[in-house]
Amino acid sequence: MVEKTNMDFLDLSVLLILLLWQWTFTTGSERYWEYIGSVGQSKWPEHFPACGGTAQSPIDVVPVQTQYDPSLSPLILLGYSQHGKEPFVLHNNGHTVVLQIPDRMGLGGLPCQFTAIQLHLHWGNGSPGSGASEHTINGQRTAAELHVVHYNSELYPNMSVAKTQPDGLAVLGVLIETGEEANPAFWNILNYLVHIRHAGQSVSIPAFDIQSLLPSNLGRYYLYNGSLTTPPCFQSVLWTLFTETIKISRTQLTKMETVLYTTKEEDTSHVLMQDNYRATQPLNGRMVLSSFPPESVRVYTVGEITAIVIGALCGVIGLAVIICFIVKTIRSTSSWDLLPSIRPATIIRMPGKEPKQDVVLTPTSEAGKKEDLVPNLA
């Protein structure tokens, strides 16, 4: 199996593609950048002015601050499952792994027709619990993120032209979490990473159903205007971030995080491709739309309102009954407590005369005796 894949790798067609990539990336005005270091994220705007713009991606999505737009319908994937038999090309571009998608795949349900061009991933560094998604929801990062890039083929001839236009691109963002089980769809990519460990390498892989990488619910998403999350950061992207996450196993995540290098094969030292995600960018007043109504603002029916009012009334009456019972209980308890201390007093004061007589009688006799004695002594 491995030998056969190596044969595929050395296939002439792949070599041709390699040369084509080489040509694209060396003749293009590609300038060097990285995530951390001397040409790291904070330096991007100096070398790529658009990265300092006011509508950058990724962003932190705060669901309570999004605006529900009932006109947003579920996204329609066109031709995603009709992958055919022609192999796909997987490439290490020094920043991520890129899967070239055949142009017969596209997107419907957005303002324009979009054609798929590539998908790629962003991930962390293998330390447990370290989130590395680009987009966050309420500040929470997931383990990784998948992006499927499309260009506006209704208005522009190709990706190169479209990526510089405000309405040129549409990217689907999928948040990836780790779960108990492996995600079979992801092996279609992860199994081949070992063949493209070094920057600039490509491999052809069997075609597969790209839709199997995506969430099943394509109707719940956030939509906003943003940018490419890597230099040159053109502000040309209509972003769709699905609320449903997809799950891969920890083994699969580890493979993503520890197999690829950002360096070329001929380089003297090799650097692992890790933490290839950009920090969230300020919204600067941009609106984030949601395709679904927020849970807290529910519309109640007349029946529900009646039930709530009756329920509240019953609650108030019930509480009053309980309070009355408690007050009564306290009163009766306190008279029982006081009785023993009151009793002697009542016995002394109320029947009064009897004890008085007792008390008086004895001393009177004594007093009488004294009185008798005193005059005697006097």
Ligand X SMILES: *[C@@H]1O[C@H](CO)[C@@H](O)[C@H](O)[C@H]1NC(C)=O
Interaction of residue 224 with ligand X, rule CB under 6 A: yes
Nearest-approach distance from CB 219 to ligand X, in angstroms: 16
Q: How far is the CB of 291 from ligand X (least distance, A)?
A: 11
Using rule CB under 6 A, residue 112 touches ligand X? no
Choosing from 158, 217, 346, 365, the residue that interacts with ligand X (CB under 6 A) is: 158
The H or E element containing residue 333 is helix 302-349
How is the chain split among helix, strand and coil, in percent rounded to 5? 35, 20, 45
Q: Determine whether 273 is exposed, middle or buried from the number of CB atoms within 10 Å of its CB (0-12, 13-18, 19+).
A: buried
Are 233 and 55 a contacting pair, CB within 8 Å? no
20 binds ligand X (CB under 6 A): no
Q: Which stretch binds ligand X (CB under 6 A): 97-105, 193-201, 222-230, 260-268?
A: 222-230
Say which of 91, 95, 120, 135 is annotated catalytic.
95
Short-list 70, 130, 123, 115, CA closest to 299: 70
Question: Is 157 a residue that touches ligand X (CB under 6 A)?
Answer: yes
141 or 163, CB closer to ligand X? Answer: 163
CB 58 within 8 A of CB 135: yes
Contact 261, 273 (CB under 8 A): yes
Q: Which of residues 39 and 289 has its CB atom nearest to ligand X in the complex?
A: 289
179 neighbors 252 (Cβ within 8 angstroms) = no
Closest to ligand X by CB, 127 vs 160, is 160
Could you count the other beta carbons within 10 Å of the beta carbon of residue 72? 19
Q: How far is the CB of 287 from ligand X (least distance, A)?
A: 5
Kindly write out the interface string for residues 239-278 of this chain, putting x where it contacts ligand X by CB under 6 A and - elsewhere.
Answer: ----------------------------------------
- Is residue 161 part of the contact set for ligand X (CB under 6 A)? yes
Q: Does 225 interact with ligand X (rule: CB under 6 A)?
A: yes
- Which position among 223, 237, 259, 273 is part of the footprint of ligand X (CB under 6 A)? 223
Pick one of 160, 251, 306, 362: the residue that binds ligand X (CB under 6 A): 160
Segment interacting with ligand X, rule: CB under 6 A, options 158-166, 242-250, 295-303, 357-365: 158-166
* Residue 224 Cβ vs ligand X, minimum distance, rounded to whole Å: 5
By CB under 6 A, how many residues form the interface with ligand X?
Answer: 9
367 is a site residue for ligand X (CB under 6 A): no
Q: Which stretch binds ligand X (CB under 6 A): 88-96, 143-151, 210-218, 223-231?
A: 223-231
Tokens of 182: 């492996």
Closer of 56 and 252 to ligand X (Cβ): 56
CB of 161 to ligand X, least distance (A): 5
CB nearer to ligand X: give 287 or 338. 287
Q: Does 287 bind ligand X (CB under 6 A)?
A: yes
100: buried, middle or exposed (CB in 10 Å: 19+, 13-18, 0-12)?
A: middle
**Residue 26 Cα distances to 19, 32, 45, 180, angstroms:** 10, 11, 22, 42
- Is 195 noted as a catalytic residue in this protein? no
- List the one residue out of 81, 70, 155 whose CA is nearest residue 113: 155
Tell me which of 17, 137, 182, 289 binds ligand X, using CB under 6 A.
Answer: 289
Q: Which is nearer to ligand X, 67 or 125 (CB)?
A: 67
Structure tokens given for 314: 């019953």
Q: Report the DSSP beta bridge partners of residue 119.
A: 99, 148
Alpha carbon distance 47, 230 (integer Å): 12
Beta-carbon contacts of 334 under 8 Å, excluding residues fewer than 6 positions away, are none
- For residue 28, the minimal CB distance to ligand X (Å) is 10
- Say how far apart CA 143 and CA 350 lie, in whole Å: 85
* Min dist. Cβ of residue 154 to ligand X (A): 15
Burial class of 214 by CB neighbour count within 10 A (0 to 12, 13 to 18, 19+): buried
The minimum distance between CB 167 and ligand X, in angstroms, equals 7
Q: Which residues are catalytic?
A: 95
The footprint of ligand X (CB under 6 A) covers 157-158, 160-161, 223-225, 287, 289
